[in-house]
């Protein structure tokens, strides 16, 4: 693991691969076209979630625990998550496991692109899966639901970050019944976390980015996007910087489709 804390390089992953569980967080079709040798497919997009009521979050946790057991992730074995780059699917896979209480979860910086550039082996055949007895110990401080955001709407110590594209943020691109944003949300596109090569920016660059937008370390941060994937990426970026941060997994798919929740900005 490098100084970023939640990141690991392709070289280090290759060196330590025998003691790791490597998870490919892309769609199964992409995984089957070629993946890191020995990697398990954790198709995170299948697990989008819109209901963040108390019962909804309880069911989300139950389903995630069941999936993690099914694909053989163990609590006593470090996990490295990846997609094509240091992307949002890998971030969501990592966040899922962190939320469920796994103690050692990292993201492969640069993803499969970095792995293949280094000349490390890939394969098309899935490995044999041995289900695990993983037991979830949810970290409630890593997750946000609609009720929590509503309760904290007037709290000056809380910052909500909209990690979507600018077009989504200003309402020019519609992906729910309503356009707009969660009231008071600050816009910082998740891709600002990345270099042009698809690696995470340095900690210094990330700190300058969030400081310049008024997101200081003394604030509690809640991130959201459309479905909690891009938001998971910003969650990891802020965790690397030592922030207290939560991922709103329902995100705009829930908020924008729930008529009683307040919306700010252009509405269609």
Check: CATH 3.40.250.10 for 141-255?
A: yes
Report d(CA 10, CA 263) in Å as an integer.
42
Q: What are the b/e assignments for 68-104, b being 16+ CB within 10 Å?
A: bbebbbbbeebbbbbbbbbbbbbbbbbbbbbbbbbee
Count, in order, helices (H) and strands (E) of the chain. 10, 12
The rounded mean pLDDT for the chain is: 95
Delimit the domains of the chain by residue range.
Answer: 7-138, 141-255
The architecture (CATH level 2) of 7-138 comes to: 3-Layer(aba) Sandwich (3.40)
In CATH terms, are 7-138 and 141-255 the same topology? Answer: yes
pLDDT at residue 206, as a whole number: 96
pLDDT band at 265 (very low <50, low <70, confident <90, very high): confident
pLDDT band at 47 (very low <50, low <70, confident <90, very high): confident
pLDDT at residue 5, as a whole number: 76
Report d(CA 83, CA 113) in Å as an integer.
9
Per residue in 138-172, pLDDT tens? 999 999 999 999 999 999 999 999 999 999 999 99
Per residue in 15-36, pLDDT tens? 999 999 999 999 999 999 999 9
Per residue in 189-203, pLDDT tens? 999 999 999 999 999
Report d(CA 261, CA 90) in Å as an integer.
30
Report d(CA 74, CA 100) in Å as an integer.
12
């Amino acid at each position: 693991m490098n100084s970023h804390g939640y990141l690991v390089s392709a070289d280090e992953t290759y060196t330590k691969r025998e003691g790791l569980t490597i998870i490919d967080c892309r769609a199964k079709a992409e995984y089957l076209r070629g993946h890191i040798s020995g990697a398990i497919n954790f198709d995170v997009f299948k697990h989008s979630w819109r209901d963040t009521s108390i019962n909804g979050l309880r069911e989300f946790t139950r389903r995630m625990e069941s999936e993690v057991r099914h694909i053989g992730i163990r609590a006593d074995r470090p996990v490295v998550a990846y997609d094509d780059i240091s992307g949002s699917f890998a971030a969501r896979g990592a966040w899922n496991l962190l939320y469920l209480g796994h103690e050692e979860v990292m993201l492969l910086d640069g993803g499969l692109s970095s792995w293949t550039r280094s000349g490390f082996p890939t394969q098309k055949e899935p490995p044999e899966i041995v289900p695990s007895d993983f037991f979830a110990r949810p970290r409630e401080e890593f997750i946000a639901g609609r009720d929590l955001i509503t309760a904290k709407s007037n709290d000056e110590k809380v910052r909500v970050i909209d990690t979507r594209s600018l077009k989504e943020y200003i309402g020019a691109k519609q992906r729910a019944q309503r356009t707009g944003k969660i009231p008071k949300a600050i816009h910082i596109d998740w891709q600002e976390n990345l270099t042009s090569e698809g690696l995470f920016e340095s900690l210094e660059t990330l700190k300058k980015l969030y400081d310049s937008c008024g997101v200081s370390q003394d604030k509690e941060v809640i991130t959201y996007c459309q479905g909690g994937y891009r938001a998971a990426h910003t969650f990891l970026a802020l965790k690397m910087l030592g922030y207290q941060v939560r991922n709103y997994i329902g995100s705009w798919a829930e908020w924008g489709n729930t008529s009683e929740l307040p919306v700010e900005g252009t509405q269609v």
